[in-house]
Structure 1
């Protein structure tokens, strides 16, 4: 009889332990399912956020290129009436993006305009602002009223380039 009670107690304890294990396993399974659902939702949310951030980065890069273009236009415009050598020195010669990235950011027409824009500015700097030693000039010969003088040619070239920049900027602002 004593053995039977011990066996019965053992069976009851074993059953209770198994019941506790089963309940915990069921709870863990529910937790795992809940975690899977959360991971799925976060993955979707992450993809949406990543897409949003990529779009924002793309827009930021486009805005940066356009701001540089306007900065260059302003720099050249200042040279129409007077010499601002420091402004020329401080203005970048490139937009800093590889051609393939520029092509991803802009339409083919706009990418070509941007390349022409920066190329025209570099040519302007090379032709009118760079001396034989490869340094930026700070002194120009002649008077601003004489189109034959170095200074007069600089002012005239600046005026023509600003007009070209304005045309390109109008084209860049159009949505195609």
Structure 2
């Protein structure tokens, strides 16, 4: 059996527009142009696409689990309209000041993904727009990839990225590279 081709994506700022006030409802969830089609290309290339997202708005009481499920339901339906899918969604619902092990930059969510798929994440492409996304990836031996959408431009300008971080304009460009090297 061939090894699983896995890719891990952050949500806000990578798949959809981010907000400093959090994405608190399905109406506020709006895809970044080209991101849904990029996910469809990953699906067509045989990748399992996994979402790993900090959702501290739940822990802060800004929205509840039912609302997070509604937001993800809209995301899944919108993806399906372009022939795309996300195979699994992992999230940390804890507030930023909690001492959980799953909130990026800690690697707990990534370790859970590795356990669920029964595989090492060594070399697995992990695409995010913030330093904490890249740090969590590097912690498990993944391939950190920064996109300049969302908070990505500020993250890039601030520096301090893990040594082997790749940088692309957006999810579409990152996916093009990943498919070229992994297929």
TM-score scaled to structure 1, two decimals? 0.26
- The structure where helix makes up a greater share of residues is 1
- The structure where strand makes up a greater share of residues is 2
State which structure, 1 or 2, has the greater radius of gyration over its C-alpha atoms: 1
TM-score scaled to structure 2, two decimals? 0.25
